[in-house]
């Protein structure tokens, strides 16, 4: 079956994207500098866009009523934390995507403890095995219906020593979660290690 992209409306395009680009890592983002509450939401249109400095990007869609709290807070405060969830936090991660009034902090409402960050003022999730403190860099808008691509630089890493082996993050200890299409998730499957490729 061939589908001409020109025949697709935004909803149909979105369905093909989220079904094709799978599984997606999830940025579980804390925002909100005191006195604001700690806002928490997951974003799976997430990737790194620079290795050094480490820079992360995610696409945040705009609601008909205006920007999502995450995008608004990042722009207002210039800082945020990208936390990586362990698979046992799946239910809470999913619940944190529910719309809540901006006055309500999802972290507290869901009973998730936070810890202060080191470099920035926005707290991180205490029980995430990895948290990356980020400083906002830029927003790129590629199209009128495509959302905003928000990019930040990682200025500090919190890595739980329990997931480190010889100074590297061990994925099987990290137990990351990934998103599929719709409200569907997956956990780490079989890991296969191949010999390195010369010059690769
Ligand atoms: C696993 C998962 C991934 C999501 N990824 C995105 C995304 O990449 N972009 C987006 O705009 N919304 C995404 N959402 C929806 C947001 O999490 C949701 O709109 C949330 O309420 C935004 O919260 P906020 O208003 O506090 O920022 C995702 C939801 C889930 C459950």
Q: Domain of 75? A: 5-187
Q: Cα of 97 to ligand 1 centre, how many Å? A: 5
Question: Ligand 1: distance of its center to the CA of 47 in Å?
Answer: 15
pLDDT for 200? 81
Is 125 among the domain residues? yes
Task: Assign residue 71 the CATH number of its domain.
Answer: 2.30.110.10
Among residues 80, 78, 55, which one has the least CA distance to residue 134? 80
Q: Give me ligand 1 centre to Cα 192, in Å.
A: 31
Is 192 part of any domain?
Answer: no
pLDDT averages per 10-residue partition of the chain, 200 residues: 97 96 98 97 98 98 94 98 98 96 92 98 98 98 94 98 98 98 97 93
Q: Give domain status of residue 24, yes or no.
A: yes
* Structural domain contains residue 163: yes
Query: Cα–Cα distance between 56 and 128 in angstroms, integer?
Result: 17
Please give the number of the atom of ligand 1 that sits closest to the Cα of 102.
Answer: 26
108 domain residue, yes or no:
yes
How many Å apart are CA 166 and CA 41, to the nearest integer? Answer: 32
CA distance 105 to 97: 12
Short-list 88, 90, 11, 81, CA closest to 40: 81
pLDDT at 60: 98
Q: How far is the CA of 144 from the centre of ligand 1 (A)?
A: 19
Q: Is residue 103 part of a domain?
A: yes
Which of 32, 68, 145, when mutated, tests ligand 1's pocket best, judged by the most ligand atoms within 8 Å of its CB? Answer: 68
- List residues near ligand 1 (CB under 6 A): 26, 39, 41-45, 58-61, 68-70, 94, 97, 99, 147, 179
What confidence score (pLDDT) does residue 37 get?
A: 96
How many domains does the chain contain in total? 1
List CB contacts of 28: < 8 A, sequence separation 6 or more: 40, 41, 42, 82, 83, 84, 85, 93, 96, 125, 128
| Cα 90 from Cα 76, distance rounded (Å) | 29
Answer whether residue 197 is part of any domain.
no
- The span from the CA of 112 to the CA of 107, in Å, is 5
Q: Which of 10, 17, 44 to mutate to test the pocket of ligand 1 (most atoms within 8 A of CB)?
A: 44
- Helix, strand counts (H, E) of the chain: 5, 16
Q: Which atom of ligand 1 is nearest to the CA of 94?
A: 31
Within a domain: 95? yes
Q: Tell me, yes or no, if the pTM score tops 0.95.
A: yes
């Amino acid at each position: 079956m061939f589908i001409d992209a020109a025949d697709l409306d935004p909803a149909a395009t979105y369905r093909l994207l989220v079904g094709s680009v799978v599984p997606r890592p999830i940025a579980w983002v804390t925002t909100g500098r005191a006195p604001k509450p700690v806002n928490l939401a997951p974003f799976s249109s997430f990737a790194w866009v620079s290795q050094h400095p480490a820079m992360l990007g995610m696409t945040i869609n705009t609601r008909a009523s205006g920007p999502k709290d995450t995008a608004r807070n990042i722009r207002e405060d210039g800082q945020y934390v990208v936390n990586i969830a362990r698979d046992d936090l799946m239910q809470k991660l999913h619940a944190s995507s529910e719309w809540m009034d901006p006055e309500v902090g999802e972290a507290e409402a869901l009973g998730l403890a936070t810890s202060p960050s080191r470099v920035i003022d926005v707290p991180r999730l205490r029980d995430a095995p990895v948290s990356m403190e980020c400083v906002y860099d830029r927003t790129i808008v590629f199209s009128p219906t495509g959302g905003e691509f928000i990019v930040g630089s990682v200025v500090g890493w919190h890595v739980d020593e329990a997931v480190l082996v010889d100074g590297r993050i061990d994925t099987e200890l990290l137990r990351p979660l990934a998103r599929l299409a719709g409200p569907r998730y997956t956990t780490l499957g079989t890991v296969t290690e191949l010999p390195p490729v010369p010059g690769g």
